[in-house]
Structure 1
Amino acid sequence: MAPSTAAANAKWLKKIKWDEHGLVPVIAQEVATGDVVMFAWMNRDALAKTVELGEAVYWSRSRKKLWHKGEESGHVQKVLEIRLDCDDDVVLLKIEQAGGIACHTGRHSCFFQKFEGDDWHTVEPVLRDPEMIYTNPKK
């Protein structure tokens, strides 16, 4: 997908070192807790739309389209601050997470598995059954 003309010409977007697919990795960090709740990708249009809306919009690599976080679940991410790392190749979003759930599994964070001993262990509970989230969005 080619970026929109406005996004392609924005000076602030040109500073970012996009990968060979026109994407940049994005970390979503919840301001209230300091938790890293999600990792995703953005293209120029997704980042420009994020700035425009004040809510996180990502690029879905599997669906090959823009994905407004929370469009189905209601768990939108209000963006309070956007930062760029020292190499200009990773974006950090400081966010407020609606509903306290960032992960499609119904957990607070996508990083709910912890390596201990010689295996991965689930260390965060499911806050809401994903079937309830996606059958009855925003409830």
Structure 2
Amino acid sequence: MQDSASNVASQEWLDAVRWDANGLVPAIAQDATTGDVLMMAWMNKEALQLSAQEGHAVYWSRSRAQLWRKGESSGHQQVIREIRLDCDADVVLLKVEQKGGIACHTGRRSCFYRRLESGSWTVTDPVLKNPALIYGNGGGHGHE
């Protein structure tokens, strides 16, 4: 992370984000080295602030209505190299180092493993590790 702790402690940068009606912003995780898009999740203000402070991705789970630290159950943390905000200030981009090479709860490198071909979704990327082996419970549930 390039921000100093004092810059991150200020609320001004958080207030510049255009949060939706639920207080959320979409966050895209991108491999900092290859540029591959790994996943998309949601962040609330606390998740974004914690991500910047801790240097690891923290997201907001809409289904569980709680914060979740990427990799807390899988070990596949995302170390943040850079945080960017788009031109409309309503999408966050995290450039990350993906620990373990797996971002998706399905055991794949990326959540974007299906491609539209001839009117149907074709799986293009292999499972790198069985989710049951990652989570020990028969698979993850919506990221983590």
TM-score (norm 1): 0.90
CA shift, 1:118, in A, is: 1.2
CA-to-aligned-CA distance 1:70-106 (integer Å, 9 cap, x gap): 0000000000000000001000000000000000000
Partner of 2:109: 108
The residue correspondences of 1:1-139 to structure 2 (distance < 5 A) are 10-135=11-136
3-state SS of 1:38 partner: strand
CA shift, 1:52, in A, is: 1.0
- Where does structure 2 lack aligned partners over 5 or more consecutive residues? 1-7, 138-144
Question: How many Å separate the matches in 2 of 1:15 and 1:34?
Answer: 25
Question: How many Å separate the matches in 2 of 1:83 and 1:52?
Answer: 15
3-state SS of 1:83 partner: strand
For this pair of structures, how many residues does the alignment match?
Answer: 129
CA shift, 1:134, in A, is: 0.5
Q: Deviating runs (4+, > 6 A) in structure 1? A: none
- The amino acid that maps onto 1:28 is A
RMSD value, Cα: 1.4
Task: Percent identity, please.
Answer: 59
3-state SS of 1:45 partner: helix
CA shift, 1:64, in A, is: 0.3
3-state SS of 2:73 partner: coil
Question: How many Å separate the matches in 2 of 1:32 and 1:83?
Answer: 15
TM-score (norm 2): 0.87
3-state SS of 2:60 partner: strand
